Structure 1
């Protein structure tokens, strides 16, 4: 657990005026971006620029706050973030933050895909940063946006990549997916070639899921696949609170593999990553303002430390390069 800088704490406090969503159910990335920048050692001016760049698109918190007696009553209701946040703050004061996490994480992990994994990611960043208020806000967000894919837990003797390839063939020629990422994931989960099918590898560990997500994104620069990489990092941070690890991991795998099914095949070869070391990569990322660039680079660095796979540096460098190209166009 890291202590946040005074700059980050002040900006997080200012960010509380914004709700967890904006537009058509799009995630507010501002708190996650600020925490990631702080962990990368971003200077004060970079933090301020990132705040301004991300805040301008956000919406004010909903002033309509309903009392909450039991958070479970609000699962998936899509509203009352303020009431739920107050509920979790009261629970944390009464029982302690860790007890609240151990109580709620097993309940929420069937909905690990909620809001395109952003509820999971926001909570993980808050816990890693040691910010209890932000953790309560993230729990509230997860409860209101909770949605499960409801796929069977049946296992099969197959490697993750082989299972994913089989499922991709099963959904080939599907009707067009539509909506935002979580909408497309729910449609894919209901496809006859997926629903009712054994999708769980009999032997599974977190490294396998993380390597599958990394391999998919390394092979194809895709916005949805980016989220599976950052989700694996977030899941690893929250695993100590997740209850039975094997059960929790099954939910992560089902969400990751279903997310890959929503990505259309592409013959395009990603651009080669520039030749950067981690020091240069982190220095560039610490001055970025794009939330997905910042979060991907931070997650890639953390996952590299955990697994030692050189492809994490490649995807971070590639993402930084693609943003540099966009700024010059």
Structure 2
């Protein structure tokens, strides 16, 4: 497949129509399962499948729940205490709607992604993925009200579900992602979702100042003793 054929900017208006349909709904259902629709419709349009978007949304509609009620307003003075509070999903969305109305969306994003990055595991990473889809649409097809509103929804979801890792003991640098994963001990309680499991982590390999060779990695394993059972 010629990728360039299917990655042109959307001129049909379908994405904007779909986003407007979705913005009365919340980012989750059943208490914690993520609403995939905003990401899915952007991907469909991006891949040249705009004609099927509304039909897909009609089928997905049964999985959507209304936006939760507001709890307490998020402000520039209290945002830190509101970070990671899922009761405030609607409050965070409203906050970013105000922010993106008052300032360019790039400026808001540049200010907030470093603040939110430590909690990238939020919602099993769905919020940051949603933000990524939205930014791609903004860059590819330009700025307008539905796309900027989608950024506010994505950032609001990320802030409300913000989930930093627990304090971790530094482990020896690994040669790559697979080796780093192998070095992490298996969490003892395998029940629950990502929130419960991440909270059980105790250590993680540090980022090396330069790539670690296989020989260096083998030496650290020898120094550490027998391989731990995961």
What is the 5 A alignment of 1:1-329? 2-3=9-10, 5-44=12-51, 46-64=52-70, 66-70=72-76, 71-130=79-138, 131-152=147-168, 154=170, 156-160=172-176, 161-167=178-184, 170-171=185-186, 175-187=188-200, 189=201, 195=202, 197-203=203-209
Shift of residue 6, structure 1, vs aligned partner: 0.8
Aligned counterparts of 2:62 and 2:44: Cα–Cα separation in 1: 18
Shift of residue 200, structure 1, vs aligned partner: 2.2
Aligned counterparts of 2:191 and 2:37: Cα–Cα separation in 1: 26
Task: Give the number of the structure whose residues are more often helix, by fraction.
Answer: 1
Shift of residue 110, structure 1, vs aligned partner: 0.5
1:228 — aligned with what?
Answer: none
Conserved? CA contact 2:71–2:87, under 8 Å = no
Conserved? CA contact 1:2–1:128, under 8 Å = no
Larger Rg: 1 or 2? 2
When the two chains are superposed, the root-mean-square deviation of aligned CA atoms in Å is 2.4
Aligned length: 194
Question: Per-residue displacement from partner, 1:140-193 (whole Å, max 9, x unpaired)?
Answer: 1111111111344847342122232222xx33xx53311223332333x1xxxx
Shift of residue 56, structure 1, vs aligned partner: 0.8
Cα 1:159–1:129 change in 2 (3 A) is: same
Q: What are structure 1's unaligned runs of at least 5 residues? A: 190-194, 206-264, 266-329
Conserved? CA contact 2:96–2:156, under 8 Å = yes
- The normalised TM-score by structure 1 is 0.54
- The normalised TM-score by structure 2 is 0.75
Q: What are structure 2's unaligned runs of at least 5 residues? A: 1-7, 139-146, 212-229
